Amino acid sequence: MFESIAELLELAEAKKKELHEVIIEREMESTNKSLEKVMEGLKKSLDTMKQSLEKGLKIDVVLPIGEAMEQSQKMQAKPFFLSKDIKEAVYWAMSIMEYNNGMGVICAAPTAGSCGVFPATILKAKEMLNKTDDQLMHAFIVGSAVGVICGNRATLSGSEAGCQAEVGVASTMAAVAITYMAGGRGNYISNAVALALKNLLGLVCDPVGGLVISPCIKRNAIGVVNAFLAAEMALSGVTSIIPADEVIDAMLEIGQKLPTELKETGFGGCAGTPTGKRIAETLYKNQNKI
Amino acid sequence: MRYDSLFDVIGHIMVGPSSSHTAGACRIAYITRLLFGKPIKNANIHLHGSFAETYQGHGTDKALVAGLLGIPQDDENLRHSFSIAKEQNLNYNFYKKNLGKGYHPNSVLLEVSDENDKLSVIGSSIGGGNIIIKEIEGMEAGFNGDSPTLVFENRDVKGVIAKVTEIISEFGLNIDNMELSQNKSKKVALGWIEVEDTINNEMIEKIKQIKDILWVRALNV
């Protein structure tokens, strides 16, 4: 579809079209689908994200790790440092992740373990900026295309490159989407990519007991805050010295150099701490014997 | 992996928490149900590798039972699969089994049956909700069901495949990929043919009429 951020931006520039327009055209070309079919699919994914948020806010789930339960609700408390909106977006992302762990229906973005970041950020930004459903959809399209580019240049798999490829990419997709939603174009977009992803480079995947709970649910929170931060910086004119595509390439290089223990195996990092190991042991002991 | 579409990134709608341990597991079982072709009454579920280690925390067990009931990976009912199995008289048992070195850590052997027939399938969940059906009835397979696929077992005699492909072209379908594997001692073979468009019932009925075809199924999922 697209191999680089540079290619995507140049194409829009050359065609004198909006980014979301050239992305949709390319999607239709590479999948042989009609505009209607593509838009129908996109709407289904976005609707699933909205529903996962609505349900996630309503339903309390039982998690196999007791210590990890009912954490999202605590983010409803009056803010000390964050703005009310950003704190609520974090609450949303954690709620979607809890809902995911309660076997709710979610839309991976780019993975199930990072499924809270993108919806929480773009839905909150829509509310904050008072944008229309169409504008939300356009931002959603641009953010998703950046996910495709990260996949093609690097990877979207925690087992290949750690959490930087999951929450890192989710946060990058979200940062770009809201930058676009706020009116950022051209260099503002590439700076949003670079600034968002750089901050999360090296993030490891170290799930306790191998489950998508700890630290995953709370790690979705940094994905949200980092997305707002990177978009804010990019829109304020802060530029990245390292170009976006090179940052994505760096993510892959770092991922390849990460030891296996820190790539979704549940052995290193948080999973490998005495507490992480103790929780994992209890989990297996409580599992029905087969 | 190559990403050719936005939907490779934001198109995976599924019951959580894990694309590999929940959605992928469900899909393997769902395809097994389609290959069996009718409601399953008994299922022996043999979990290999990581599936055996963390099956409960990820709901791999519920996902597999859901798939065997014909509940797809994006259906909320997935998490109620155990009680639905009770209502629909599906008996199941879980076992831990080391299938050997050649299998992906997220693999499962499903032995399913009813009063008259039985089928065994090995599938692997290879990441991001993507799966591969590795073996059917002990014969090597290698499809994922992402495009419409015709799967059949036949007596290993000359001319059967030619007749099958003839019928496919008669129905105007283009073949994307065709593969075969044999069980020489039993003198049977497994075939899978991926085609461009939906496979209709009429075509399946016609292929069933071919002498030496033991069974044939269409996967349009």
Confidence of residue B120 (pLDDT cuts 50, 70, 90): very high
Residue A108 pLDDT > 80, yes or no? yes
Residue B1 pLDDT > 80, yes or no? no
pLDDT value of position B55: 83
pLDDT value of position A286: 82
Kindly report, residue by residue over A1-40, the tens digit of the pLDDT.
999 999 999 999 999 999 999 999 999 999 889 999 999 9
pLDDT value of position B43: 98
Residue B57 pLDDT > 90, yes or no? no
pLDDT value of position A288: 79
Cβ of B8 and A103 within 8 Å? no
Residue linked to tokens 């798999």: A157
Find, in chain A, the residue whose alpha carbon is nearest to that of B57.
A64
Q: Nearest CA to CA, how far is A81 from chain B (Å)?
A: 31
- Chain B residues whose CB is inside 8 A of the A264 CB are none
User: What ipTM was predicted for this assembly?
Assistant: 0.96
Cβ of B4 and A110 within 8 Å? no
Q: Nearest CA to CA, how far is A52 from chain B (Å)?
A: 10
**What does the mean pLDDT of chain A come to?**
96
Name residue B108's beta-bridge partners.
Answer: B47, B123
Kindly report, residue by residue over B151-181, the tens digit of the pLDDT.
999 999 999 999 999 999 999 999 999 999 9
Give this prediction's pTM: 0.90
Q: Please, are residues A170 and A114 in contact by the beta-carbon 8 Å criterion?
A: yes
Nearest beta carbon to residue A147 from set B9, B17, B76: B9
Cβ of B54 and A41 within 8 Å? no
Candidates B92, B190, B191; CA nearest to B138 is B190
Q: Please, are residues A58 and A51 in contact by the beta-carbon 8 Å criterion?
A: no
Mean pLDDT calculated for residue range B2-18: 93
Mean pLDDT calculated for residue range B133-152: 95
Which DSSP helix (H) or strand (E) runs through B112?
strand B106-113
Cβ of B17 and A107 within 8 Å? no
pLDDT value of position A192: 98
pLDDT value of position A97: 97
Count of C-beta atoms within a 10 Å radius of residue B101? 5
Find, in chain B, the residue whose alpha carbon is nearest to that of A32.
B5
Q: Nearest CA to CA, how far is B169 from chain A (Å)?
A: 22
